[in-house]
């Protein structure tokens, strides 16, 4: 079955980026001139997704406004000449990229709990999950790479990259065997492993394709790391029971949930930005001389 639905959990508290995220969702932090979540929606749309459910919570109204029309702003831009017309087109396009729906996670009980709120949106179809604070930039949308693997194997898929031994204890670790190219079979996984529990240096980074089987499993998943219902714990049950596929996706992933990740995204995207790229490069070179 074709994957046309996606879920973007964006209801976390963003405590690692306070005070910026006190009243502003971290998913709205800009990377140069676009909020992080717009990059994520664009990736999904490029991968053929037509319907997107964004999981929000109190105080995330800004996300809804961003994907809505903005009549006052639009009419001001309309009367502003050719340059403003280009911006107007971009602004209007945001509201028409996909059918975007919202649901609230009323208590912040973890990523797994957030995904469980998508049950009625998903129905009987497979769906992609794009974590709201993981921006992945690349020619071939990461989400599309996972969808192709789902179509090839008919099993749930996780997007992985190799991470360092030091970093993996903060992420997850997967038991994998190579299948072909950058595709692996995954039969087990662990969230935030202690150093003696590391299964491999492959870690899930922000993308998966799941079937509705996950919802029953999530209902029976006890709170894990951080006393939250972890999506990885539910996927572990799935991996052990049915097997999953892991795709070592191409593209650069930026963790918008921590300060260094945000700065790396800003710098690298700015360097390639058509409007400011050249000037920013010259500025960075000057600054680098003083370091």
CB of 257 to ligand UTP, least distance (A): 4
Residue 133: which of 20, 237, 233, 212 has the closest Cα? 20
Q: Which is nearer to ligand UTP, 23 or 124 (CB)?
A: 23
C-beta closer to ligand UTP: residue 34 or 109: 109
Q: Is there binding between residue 144 and ligand UTP (CB under 6 A)?
A: no
**Is the CB of residue 89 less than 8 Å from the CB of residue 75?**
no
Instruction: Specify the 3-state DSSP secondary structure of 160.
Output: strand
- Name the 3-class secondary structure at 128: strand
**CB nearer ligand UTP, residue 56 or residue 211:** 56
Which residue is listed with tokens 């676009």?
34
What is the rounded CA–CA span in Å between residue 194 and residue 18?
Answer: 27
**Residues binding ligand UTP: number (CB under 6 A):** 20
Contact flags string 101-140 toward ligand UTP, x per CB under 6 A: ----x--xxxx-xx----------------xxx-------
Q: For residues 186 and 244, is the Cβ–Cβ distance under 8 A?
A: yes
Task: State the minimum distance, in angstroms, from the CB of residue 70 to ligand UTP.
Answer: 24
**Residue nearest ligand UTP, CB atom distance:** 12
CB of 108 or CB of 278, closer to ligand UTP: 108
| Least Cβ distance, residue 17 to ligand UTP (angstroms) | 6
Our CB check for ligand UTP shows the closer of 130 and 156 to be 130
- Answer yes or no: are the C-beta atoms of 190 and 236 closer than 8 Å: yes
Question: Judging by DSSP bridges, how do beta strands 30-31 and 34-35 pair with one another?
Answer: antiparallel
Report the site for ligand UTP in 198-227 (rule: CB under 6 A). Answer: none
Q: Enter the DSSP assignment of 195.
A: G
Q: Which of 11, 28, 118, 142 binds ligand UTP (CB under 6 A)?
A: 11
* CB nearer to ligand UTP: pick between 108 and 272: 108
User: Which 242-261 residues touch ligand UTP, going by CB under 6 A?
Assistant: 257
The interface with ligand UTP within residues 15-34 (CB under 6 A) comprises 15-16
Dist CA 284 CA 282 (whole Å)? 6
Backbone angles phi, psi at 44, to 5 degrees: -60, -45
Note whether 161 and 202 are within 8 A (CB).
yes
Any contact of residue 41 with ligand UTP (CB under 6 A)? no
| Contact of 172 with 193, CB cutoff 8 Å | yes
Q: Does 39 bind ligand UTP (CB under 6 A)?
A: no
Find out whether 8 and 25 touch, Cβ atoms under 8 Å. no
SS3 state at 164 = coil
- Nearest distance in Å: CB 117, ligand UTP: 9
By the rule CB under 6 A, 9 interacts with ligand UTP: yes
Which parts of this chain interact with ligand UTP (CB under 6 A)?
A: 9-16, 55, 105, 108-111, 113-114, 131-133, 257
């Amino acid at each position: 079955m074709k994957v046309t639905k996606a879920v973007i959990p964006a209801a976390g508290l963003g405590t690692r980026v306070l005070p910026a995220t006190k009243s502003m969702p971290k998913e709205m932090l800009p990377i140069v001139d676009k909020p992080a979540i717009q990059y994520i929606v664009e990736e999904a749309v490029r991968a053929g997704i037509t319907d997107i459910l964004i999981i929000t919570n109190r105080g995330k109204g800004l996300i809804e406004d961003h994907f809505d029309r903005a009549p006052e702003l639009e009419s001001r831009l309309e009367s502003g000449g050719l340059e403003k017309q280009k911006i107007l087109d971009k602004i209007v396009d945001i509201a028409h990229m996909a059918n975007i729906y919202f649901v609230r996670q009323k208590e912040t009980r973890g990523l797994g709990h957030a995904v469980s709120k998508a049950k009625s949106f998903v129905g009987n179809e497979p769906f992609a999950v794009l974590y709201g604070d993981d921006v992945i930039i690349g020619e071939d949308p990461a989400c599309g790479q996972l969808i192709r693997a789902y179509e090839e194997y008919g099993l749930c898929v996780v997007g992985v990259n190799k991470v360092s031994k030091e970093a993996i204890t903060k992420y997850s670790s997967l038991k994998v065997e190579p299948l072909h190219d950058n595709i692996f079979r995954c039969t087990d996984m662990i969230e935030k492993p202690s150093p003696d529990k590391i299964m491999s240096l492959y870690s899930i980074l922000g993308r998966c394709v799941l079937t509705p089987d996950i919802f029953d499993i999530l209902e029976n998943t006890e709170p894990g790391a951080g006393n939250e219902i972890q999506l990885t714990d539910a996927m572990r049950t799935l991996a052990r029971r049915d097997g999953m596929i892991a795709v070592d996706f191409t593209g650069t992933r930026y963790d918008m949930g921590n300060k260094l990740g945000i700065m790396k995204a800003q710098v690298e995207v700015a360097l390639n930005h058509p409007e400011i790229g050249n000037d920013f490069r010259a500025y960075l070179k000057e600054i680098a001389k003083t370091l």
